[in-house]
Amino acid sequence: MDFKKTKFGKFMNCRVPASKRYQPTEYEHVANCATHALWILPSMVGGSVLYFLSVDRWHRVAAWLYGSGLTGLFITSTLFHTAAWKISHLRKVEQRFHMCDRMAIYFFIAASYSPWLMLRELGPWTCHMRWLIWVMACIGSAYVCFFHERYKLIELLGYVAMGAVPALVILSMVERTGVCELAVGGVFYGVGVVFFKSDGLVPFAHAIWHLFVAVGAGIHYYAIWRYLYLPGTQLQTSR
């Protein structure tokens, strides 16, 4: 369906070649900013809740890592989209915000896995994955620094790989509670990628991608709170 020929056409610009940047409409700029800005405060509150529910230093470290990664994702995304909307003429400044936005995704993925890797009894690869996932985040960030926006498919595959590889370790959990929520959240991220690549094809595609990210993050937060931090929950820790 060609949305440009419908009444929704005014809400998006035409598709551009892979070598050029898509320019969102004013409507899309507002939606891109709002759909992540709305979650900054809730993510800060959520991270604080986990921290105050912590029973030892391992729980506190995991809560701090996860809360920082979650809040950092929404803050950097909001700052970048605001810069792309209001100061796009300052190309180098906007590019720096864009690079920070891309780096934040890598660290958010690492932070999302940290509570499970630190607080659950897992298989023999656990001790390696705890630090390996942060090495992967650093490698991804270095890639952004040197090859930002040059090979978009490789960058997308890097995010997918980083999200999928640690999941193989998570599946070795002795205690299986939380696996269903992790899988459902992962499905939301995966389906959202379709909209991430649909600028110029679907109105507000990027904002819809933001909503899928928010829902996926919310489901994963619930699983962490419910199965790793809720008072009275029986935790089998790997420390």
Annotated binding site: 81, 206, 210
168 CB neighbour count, 10 Å cutoff:
11
Count Cβ neighbours within 10 Å for each residue of 10-34 and write b for 16 or more, e otherwise. ebbeeeeeeeeeeebeeebbebbbe
Contact between residue 239 and residue 118 where contact means Cβ atoms under 8 Å apart: yes
Q: What residues are designated binding site for Zn(2+)?
A: 81, 206, 210
Q: How far apart are CA 239 and CA 236, in angstroms?
A: 9
Triad 93, 98, 100: Cα angle to 5°: 100
Triad 185, 32, 19: Cα angle to 5°: 95
Which DSSP state fits 56?
A: S
Nearest to 182 by CA among 136, 231, 134, 216: 216
Cα-to-chain-centroid distance, residue 185: 11
